[in-house]
Amino acid sequence: MALLLQMGSSYCIRTEIFRHKSGQNVGLSRANNIEAAKLKENCIGFSSVSCYSPRKTQIFHVDNAVLGHKRGHSVIVAASPPTEDAVIVTEPLTKEDLVGYLASGCKPKENWRIGTEHEKFGFELKTLRPMKYEQIAELLNGISERFDWEKVMEGDKIIGLKQGKQSISLEPGGQFELSGAPLETLHQTCAEVNSHLYQVKAVTEEMGIGFLGIGFQPKWRIKDIPIMPKGRYEIMRNYMPKVGTLGLDMMFRTCTVQVNLDFSSEADMIRKFRAGLALQPIATALFANSPFTEGKPNGFLSMRSQIWTDTDNNRTGMLPFVFDDSFGFEQYVDYALDVPMYFVYRKKKYIDCTGMTFRDFLAGKLSCIPGELPTLNDWENHLTTIFPEVRLKRYLEMRGADGGPWRRLCALPAFWVGILYDEVALQNVLDITADWTPEERQMLRDKVPITGLKTPFRDGLLKHVAQDVVKLAKDGLERRGFKESGFLNEVAEVVRTGVTPAERLLELYNGKWGQQIDPVFEELLY
């Protein structure tokens, strides 16, 4: 589903949802065979819209999230709540529609926002054991009642909360995730984090529950981790051991912090995607914070990052094709079409479609639901099951960092905003990384989880590149004019010394803690 915006000879697909003042549904136009070169034109600055419409597609407005419906104070959702209203398409989707969906993320710079997501481990303060689902349900209900959040239900189970454009969700092992609203400044982002932690602590202090800011569960085995009652996770849990050795560790024992950022055009997306991928190992090193497994050092600075190297290679990694001259929205769609699916959501149930592809789905050839065709909701859900180091939706997600204490939750978006939202910093990064080979980028990806900033790179260490990059980020933040550069103080100290957060934890473990792991729960308690 797409509107075709035309200006001169350049085109940009914009996916929009409109309702006429009369209340009638508006037909959508679809552009066929739009060349990638034309898509690369800027998507902004159109004062008028002309619709090229080879055929019309009816759409229907759906209130709430993912084919959900309101019922009192609850919303039934399919998976991760989408950012906008859901859509049912009455004619078959084409690949051009899927390209148009991604291209609809283009927005002028004045509309760029910062969306931060972070996960944390809940645990019982007395026993240090992970929170059970029943405790998590009590927490979610408590936050909902005290702070006016809508409940997100799956069947009769509460699995999340929603308030405006913020949402709280559960990861497979009960990791508690805040998906923040799209905000204008890092000050707002940090205020949102602080507000969230205040609300969580207001409820959990009465429950004897704390939260740990770390990238990998430091003490407990997989069999000690409670399983969350979410249908999509059951499908993933059964599938993961078939495609890698560490997928269940990823699901049940990792926590991350990530930032979601906008782009103005396809060309802008490409530049940011390439800079993000090239620098992702530096972000992994700066925020490395997962050196323990089951009570002992695991030999890695970022065990969380290492786990992604053997989770499911069909949907993870550094995506070398992003650096091809032909790369654009269409090439990412081609990649995503062939990433094996996990599920389709129908009639409030998850249907196992593992091993089949969205390309098959477009052709009505899914054996799990034979003859059925996908909606854009299905496409949106499928995109959430792809896990590269940088992920494209209608925005770009920087996915390479370990979870950590609250100050670092503000530092991660500061790092990426300073680089990707400032033209000078972005161009400098592209210049620095322009001659990095695919083999060098992969080498950094492979070695950084072990050696962090001390990873040898060309004639020096990765630390030296990181120092330059953090300086670029700081300058970029200062040029934004919001006095945000102070949020980088946490990583400035890391690059100055070359000592990652994980290495500091190991120093404590081998020194003050007497090689006992339990003190980490106090050290990194929110």
Cα separation, 175 vs 228, in Å, equals: 10
DSSP per-residue letters across 123-147: EETTT-PBPPHHHHHHHHHHHHHHH
Coil, helix or strand at residue 65: coil
Q: At what angle do helices 406-420 and 489-497 cross, to 10 degrees?
A: 90
pLDDT at position 407 is 87
120 pLDDT exceeds 80?
yes
CA 193/CA 513 separation, integer angstroms: 29
Check residue 311 and report its DSSP letter: S
Residues across the chain: 526
| Contact criterion met (CB below 8 Å) for 446 and 309 | yes
Spatial CA neighbour of 279 closest among 114, 399, 423: 399
**Nearest-5° Cα angle at 10, 7 to 15:** 80
Predicted confidence at residue 89, as pLDDT, reads 53
- The yes-or-no verdict on residue 96 having pLDDT over 70 is yes
Q: For residue 242, count CB atoms less than 10 angstroms from its CB and return exposed for 0-12, middle for 13-18, buried for 19 or more.
A: exposed
Percentage of the chain beyond pLDDT 70 is 83
Q: Residue 463 is inside which H or E element, if any?
A: helix 462-480
Q: What is the dihedral of CA 460, 464, 466, 470, to 10 degrees?
A: -160
Q: How confident is the model at residue 84 (pLDDT cuts 50, 70, 90)?
A: very low
Q: Which amino acid is at 410?
A: C
> pLDDT averaged over the chain?
87
Q: What is the average pLDDT across 144-169?
A: 98
Q: Coil, helix or strand for 402? A: strand
What's the CA gap between 176 and 167, in Å, rounded? 11
Name the pLDDT band for 91 (thresholds 50, 70, 90).
Answer: confident
Does residue 58 carry a pLDDT above 60? no
Q: Is the pLDDT of residue 144 over 70?
A: yes
- For residue 102, count other CB atoms closer than 10 A to its CB: 25
pLDDT in tens, 326-352: 999 999 999 999 999 999 999 999 999
**How does pLDDT run across 387-438, given as a tens digit for each residue?**
999 999 999 999 999 999 998 999 999 999 999 999 999 999 999 999 999 9
- Residues 164-211: tens digit of each pLDDT: 999 999 999 999 999 999 999 999 999 999 999 999 999 999 999 999
Q: Give the per-residue pLDDT at 31.
A: 36
Give the number of C-alpha atoms closer than 13 A to the C-alpha of residue 493, restricted to the C-beta side: 10
Across residues 482-494, what is the average pLDDT? 97
Q: What is the pLDDT of residue 88?
A: 54
Three-class secondary structure assignment of 283-320: HHHHCCCECEECCEECCCCEHHHHHHHHCCCCCEECCH
Which residue's entry shows tokens 């959040």?
A: 149
- Which tokens sit at 272? 């940011």
Q: What percent of the chain has pLDDT over 90?
A: 82
User: Under 8 Å CB-to-CB from 501, ≥6 apart: which residues?
Assistant: 287, 288, 289, 402, 404, 408, 494
Distance (Å, rounded) from C-alpha 396 to C-alpha 106? 11
More confident residue, 28 or 354: 354
Work out the average pLDDT over 465-479.
Answer: 98
User: Closest by alpha carbon to 137, among 145, 147, 125?
Assistant: 145
Amino acid identity for residue 76 in this structure: I
Predicted pLDDT at 224:
98
Range in 56-65, 175-184, 187-196, 316-325 with the lowest mean pLDDT: 56-65
Segment holding 403, helix H or strand E: none
How many other β-carbons are positioned within 10 Å of the β-carbon of residue 282? 27
Q: What's the token pair of residue 477?
A: 């933040």
Tokens 């083999």 map to which residue?
Answer: 439
pTM for this prediction:
0.86
* pLDDT beyond 80 at 375: yes
